[in-house]
Amino acid sequence: MTERLLTHLRHVDLAVPDYEKQLDFYSGVWGLTKVADDSGVSFLAAEGSPENYVVRLRKADEKRLDLVSYGVASPADADLLAERLLAGGVQLITQPGRIDTPGGGYGFRFFDVDGRTIEVSADVRVRAHRKIEEREAVPVRLSHVVLNSPDLERTRLWYQRHLGFALSDTLSSSRMGEVMHFMRISDQHHSMALARGPHTSLHHVSFEMRGLDEYMRGSGRVLRAGYRKIWGPGRHLAGDNTFTYFLDPHGNTIEYTTELELLDEDTWHPHVYDFSEPEVTDQWGTANAMNELVAKESFNDPDRGCFIAPPV
């Protein structure tokens, strides 16, 4: 594993055919705040987060994951990471330089081993944010992103080697083998997880809520609005976080969560959990049972953006 330069997850950018419907959902029912828009591109912030935006929506003919963005501590770290990636044979999309999106900054983009566009940035202006109050059921911040890969082990090793991710835990079973790796770049149990899927795609995007009450109130609001719940409410064993998964208007899985575990990285050793045991997938026993039909909901459509850089 290489020296860790990434500091945190910044935002996830989605391309969507029915742009207005998706924008209404994320800025309304889901509880994000539209902070900027420009010619079919909208930027949505979480009220409790210093990030200028946590989701970007772009109007497009085809649904795809445009990019996943991470922070680094300084422009010098961005330059160093770009040099290391080039030396490691990674294809850069852009060279390090100024970024022209809300908050500005300095960074660059590249393809991961599966062809996703990844962005890293530094010197992004901090957004004026606020404390989320009791019973206020809106996302505090972006929690984590989970990505589907047809070659789980190759993708895990790539992220460890090139970006310094560490393995926190693994889900496995005697019948299916390893199906998910939880990966971290801080003491947060995971800012990314990798799931074994039939094709490269977005598995889900997760949003942190203030606490258990706000998590339940937010889940109830989405249910009452008529959006489809896939799985939950419950509490995972790996990461010890709560979960309720929904489908957004274009079939992307999104999650409300809270209380994701913080680790002592000096003493932590990864576990291999058997996800066929009910208490592994849901400690509470309150969620609908995990089965192959539930799992397939998060396979998503094959990503049409592999090794094709987004236009903006």
The CA distance from 63 to 175, in Å, is 33
What is the DSSP code string of 4-50?
A: P-EEEEEEEEEEESSHHHHHHIIIIIS--EEEEE-SSEEEEE-TT-S
Q: What is the mean pLDDT of residues 76-89?
A: 98
Ordered alpha helix ranges (H), the chain: 19-24, 75-87, 152-163, 212-224, 278-281, 292-297
pLDDT of residue 1: 56
Strand partners, 59: 16
Radius of gyration of the chain, Cα coordinates, nearest whole angstrom: 18
When pLDDT is cut at 50, 70 and 90, the band that residue 3 belongs to is confident
Residue 137 main-chain phi, psi, to 5 deg: -95, 60
Peptide bond into 302 cis (omega under 30): no
138 pLDDT higher than 70:
yes
Mean pLDDT of the chain: 97
Angle between helices 152-163 and 75-87 (to 10 degrees): 130
Same fold, 6-122 and 141-297: yes
The fold of the 141-297 domain, in CATH, is 2,3-Dihydroxybiphenyl 1,2-Dioxygenase; domain 1 (3.10.180)
Question: How many percent of the chain have pLDDT more than 90?
Answer: 94
Question: Exposed, middle or buried: residue 209 (CB in 10 Å: 0-12, 13-18, 19+)?
Answer: buried
Task: For 175-219, write each residue's pLDDT tens digit.
Answer: 889 999 999 999 999 999 999 999 999 999 999 999 999 999 999
Task: For 86-133, write each residue's pLDDT tens digit.
Answer: 999 999 999 999 999 999 999 999 999 999 999 999 999 999 999 999
pLDDT of residue 141: 98
Give residues with Cβ within 8 angstroms of 202, minimum separation 6.
Answer: 12, 14, 65, 145, 146, 147, 148, 252, 253, 300, 303
Structure token digits, residue 49: 């987060």
When pLDDT is cut at 50, 70 and 90, the band that residue 295 belongs to is confident
The CA distance from 303 to 202, in Å, is 8
Domain ranges of the chain: 6-122, 141-297
pLDDT of residue 168: 98
Q: Which of 152-166, 203-217, 218-232, 284-298 has the lowest mean pLDDT?
A: 284-298
The fold of the 6-122 domain, in CATH, is 2,3-Dihydroxybiphenyl 1,2-Dioxygenase; domain 1 (3.10.180)
Question: Exposed, middle or buried: residue 4 (CB in 10 Å: 0-12, 13-18, 19+)?
Answer: middle
Task: For 24-38, write each residue's pLDDT tens digit.
Answer: 999 999 999 999 999
